[in-house]
Amino acid sequence: MRAYQLNAFGLDHLQQIELPAPTPGPGQVLVKLEAASLNYRDLLLAQGKLYRGVALPIVPVSDGAGTVVAVGEGAHRFQPGDRVTTVYKSRWIAGAIRPEWTGAEPGGPDDGVMREYACFDAYALARAPRHLDALSASTLPIAALTAWEALDLAQLTSGQSVLILGTGGVSLFALQLAKQRGAKAIVLSSSDHKLERARALGADVAINYRQHPQWGALVREATDGVGANVVIETVGAATLPQSMEAAAMHGFIGLVGFMGGNEASITLTQALLKRIRLQGLSVAPLEQHERLVAAIEQGRLEPVIDRVFGFAELREAFDLLASAQHFGKIVIDFSR
């Protein structure tokens, strides 16, 4: 079967190879993978900058979707023909995460989805939404679930406002899911073209942060002086001070990214007086993924895909991700 391996760190070391097809063991499910989608962590892994140690060689990329072709003894959750997606935190079934559940993650430290067939633990998979094909379903495991968990923890309700930084995968899922909840959505980008596209998806307010570097005041103005009840902070250190400025009293800041730096300085009196909740996020358990799938089906939500690449074009897909020029998700179609 076709597969990719990363034998040394650096995008130049992505290598397409042939591997033997696996056979499912007890409790395992064999999946014919049909699509994958890229996340920022996949780029960090390929560059050797991931926040944990990874043994090489490794099959890259965390998120995939496909069809069950066989099940091992005792694997009763799925049957051949079922359409599924991977689950990023594959040992996290429900409740609060435990330290011993953090090591089983496809795309580093475990092998990822850039292979035509793979065996997974039955609880490391989730049912794909019925109305989505494999390309769209592959975008859900990290980006959609992270956005869902942020809005869920914030208890975002109808009539509240959410500030969304950027137009990548997590951001656009947050926009779509927030509108599904009846919230007012404010989107930041440095591109007027991307802001217009965000408006077409339902954004109520669009702010170009390059033209307005003190955008926190504009967010308060757009919310009648209240501020954003929820902030989806995808950038990190570079934007966190303005996110705190933009947040409402008792506001929730969901910290989901660190592309803008890993070490931030905050004004503690502002956090105290506003009673801001700053919550670090890294996806959610399987039970939340299943709730996400139900909500996506009910709302007939369609993930935003920027571009689809063929299996042999993985390097080009990574180059687009690294350029930060994409709007939504970057997807690999294994049939191309």
Q: Where are the domains of the chain?
A: 2-139+303-333, 144-280
Burial of 258 (0-12, 13-18, 19+ CB in 10 A): buried
End-to-end CA distance of the chain: give it in Å, rounded: 15
**The residue count for the chain:** 336
Distance, in Å, from the CA atom of 125 to the CA atom of 155, rounded to the nearest integer, reads: 26
Q: Give Cα separations from 167 to 14, 43, 174, 235, 313 (angstroms).
A: 27, 17, 10, 11, 23
At 181, list the tokens: 């909840």
The pLDDT of residue 261: 67
The pLDDT of residue 265: 77
DSSP-derived pairing of the beta strands 329-333 and 305-310: parallel
Neighbouring residues of 267: CB distance < 8 A, sequence distance ≥ 6: 241, 244
Tokens 């890259």 map to which residue?
60
Q: Is residue 303 reached through a cis peptide bond, with omega within 30 degrees of 0 on the bond before it?
A: no
The pLDDT of residue 4: 98
The dihedral sign for the CA sequence 298, 228, 280, 332:
positive
Under a CB-based contact definition with an 8 Å cutoff, are residues 279 and 252 in contact?
yes
Per-residue model confidence as pLDDT tens for the chain (336 residues): 999 999 999 999 999 999 999 999 999 999 999 999 999 999 999 999 887 788 999 999 999 999 999 999 999 999 999 999 999 998 888 888 887 777 679 998 999 999 999 999 999 999 999 999 999 999 999 999 999 999 999 999 999 999 999 999 999 999 999 999 999 999 999 999 999 999 999 999 999 999 999 999 999 999 999 999 999 999 887 889 999 999 999 999 999 977 666 777 777 888 888 999 999 998 999 999 999 999 999 999 999 999 999 999 999 999 999 999 999 999 999 999
Instruction: Give this prediction's pTM.
Output: 0.94
The pLDDT of residue 164: 98
The pLDDT of residue 272: 86
> Reduced to 3 states, what is the DSSP secondary structure of residue 256?
coil
Distance, in Å, from the CA atom of 112 to the CA atom of 106, rounded to the nearest integer, reads: 4
231-248 burial, b at 16+ Cβ within 10 Å, e below that, comes to bbbbbbeebbebbbbbbb
DSSP-derived pairing of the beta strands 125-127 and 83-86: antiparallel
Distance, in Å, from the CA atom of 253 to the CA atom of 95, rounded to the nearest integer, reads: 21
At 301, list the tokens: 């939500």
Phi-psi region of 227 (alpha: psi -120 to 50; beta: other; left: phi over 0): left
Tokens 């475990």 map to which residue?
110
CATH number for the segment(s) 2-139+303-333: 3.90.180.10
Tokens 């020029």 map to which residue?
325
Closest-CA residue to 283 (of 109, 126, 144, 145): 145
Q: Is residue 285 reached through a cis peptide bond, with omega within 30 degrees of 0 on the bond before it?
A: no
Question: What CATH architecture is 144-280?
Answer: 3-Layer(aba) Sandwich (3.40)
The pLDDT of residue 238: 87
